[in-house]
Amino acid sequence: MTDTGIATARTTPAERTLAQLLDARISCRAYLPEQVPRDVIERILELAQQTPSWCNTQPWQVAITEGEGTERFRAGLAEYVRTHPQESDFDWPRAYVGEHKLRRRECAMQLYASVGIAPGDRAASAEQTMKNFDLFGAPHVAIVTTHEALGTYGAVDCGLYVETFLLAAQSLGVATIPQAAVAGSSRFIHDFFALEEDRRVVCAISFGYPDTENPVNGFRTHREPVAHVAQWVSR
Ligand SMILES: Cc1cc2nc3c(=O)[nH]c(=O)nc-3n(C[C@H](O)[C@H](O)[C@H](O)COP(=O)(O)O)c2cc1C
């Protein structure tokens, strides 16, 4: 603290706690089979409810599986993906160009290298991608949906919700991975959860306790320095 009582950067316990959470969270792609107790999941959901949204619409709804529910979802999804083309409620990226393409490639290469997949081994990388539809072995999945009338900003609000969920889970020792890949089976998801037709699937979050021994959880993606993204106007 300064003598005016205003916090300076890196001085508050809250800043340190947030930095620790942000630093510790990664996308977890291998899980232990243990269920997360219902009260822990409920606390994650309670914390995630604090997410801000435009006009406080709180457009997110979340469908969660546990136990046999997850197994039915996992089996149904794997079968659906084998027999249906991908169709998402939101447009998928039209193109990855320039630095987006480079970063996408870098994180894919890191993922493949972590599990010993050689560059260019398309069969092995496709097999790794298919693990999305096994929820990477997670014992739970949360499907986040928005309302169709809210359009892009409803999805933005849900994106914020997803991040609060990830950090809330991290604070309770629960690992997560957001998955757009699962949202590509929107029809299956609608039917499985009997979602109302005006709901739009934003993404899934698979979660559980991390398998820390699995090398797929052993790499870290990089972030650009602030100078690369921030533009200042001072006069
Ligand atoms: C909206 C969203 C969708 C994602 N979809 C997938 C996915 O379908 N499959 C996957 O393996 N990772 C997915 N990820 C995880 C990203 O690849 C990951 O967040 C990124 O590489 C940064 O790594 P980190 O989460 O470990 O920091 C998704 C992340 C976000 C935010």
Residue-wise pLDDT for 7-59, tens only, equals 676 689 999 999 999 999 999 999 999 999 999 999 999 999 999 999 999 99
pLDDT at 76 over 60: yes
Per residue in 105-118, pLDDT (tens digit) is: 999 999 999 999 99
Q: How confident is the model at residue 3 (pLDDT cuts 50, 70, 90)?
A: low
For the chain, the domain total comes to 1
Q: In the prediction, which pLDDT does 4 show?
A: 57
Question: Atom of ligand 1 at shortest distance to CA of 202?
Answer: 1
Protein residues with CB under 6 Å of any ligand 1 atom: 26-27, 107, 132, 177-181, 203, 221
pLDDT at 2 over 80: no
Inside any domain, residue 149: yes
Tell how far the Cα of 101 is from the centroid of ligand 1, in angstroms.
Answer: 15
Q: Look up the domain containing 48 and give its range.
A: 25-92+133-211
Question: Atom of ligand 1 at shortest distance to CA of 183?
Answer: 8
Q: Is the pTM for the entire model greater than 0.85?
A: yes
Tell how far the Cα of 163 is from the centroid of ligand 1, in angstroms.
Answer: 11
Question: Atom of ligand 1 at shortest distance to CA of 29?
Answer: 11
Q: Considering the chain, what percentage of its residues have pLDDT values greater than 90? A: 95
Average pLDDT of 53-71?
98
Q: In the prediction, which pLDDT does 7 show?
A: 66
CA-wise closest residue to 159 among 18, 48, 70? 48
Q: In the prediction, which pLDDT does 1 show?
A: 47
Q: In the prediction, which pLDDT does 32 show?
A: 98
Ligand 1 pocket test: which of 21, 25, 27, 109 has the largest number of ligand atoms within 8 Å of its C-beta?
27
Per residue in 181-222, pLDDT (tens digit) is: 999 999 999 999 999 999 999 999 999 999 999 999 999 999
The chain-wide mean pLDDT, for the chain, equals: 96
Inside any domain, residue 154: yes
Inside any domain, residue 99: no
Inside any domain, residue 13: no
Closest protein CA for atom 4 of ligand 1: 179
Inside any domain, residue 204: yes
CATH of residue 76: 3.40.109.10
Beta bridge partners of 38: none
CB 203, CB 179: distance < 8 Å: yes
Average pLDDT of 163-190?
98
Beta bridge partners of 214: none
Inside any domain, residue 234: no
Q: In the prediction, which pLDDT does 8 show?
A: 72
CB 139, CB 66: distance < 8 Å: yes
Tell how far the Cα of 143 is from the centroid of ligand 1, in angstroms.
Answer: 15
pLDDT at 6 over 70: no
Ligand 1 pocket test: which of 179, 201, 216, 224 has the largest number of ligand atoms within 8 Å of its C-beta?
179
Which amino acid is present at 208? G
Interior angle at CA 78, CA 75 and CA 80, nearest 5: 105
Inside any domain, residue 35: yes
Inside any domain, residue 8: no
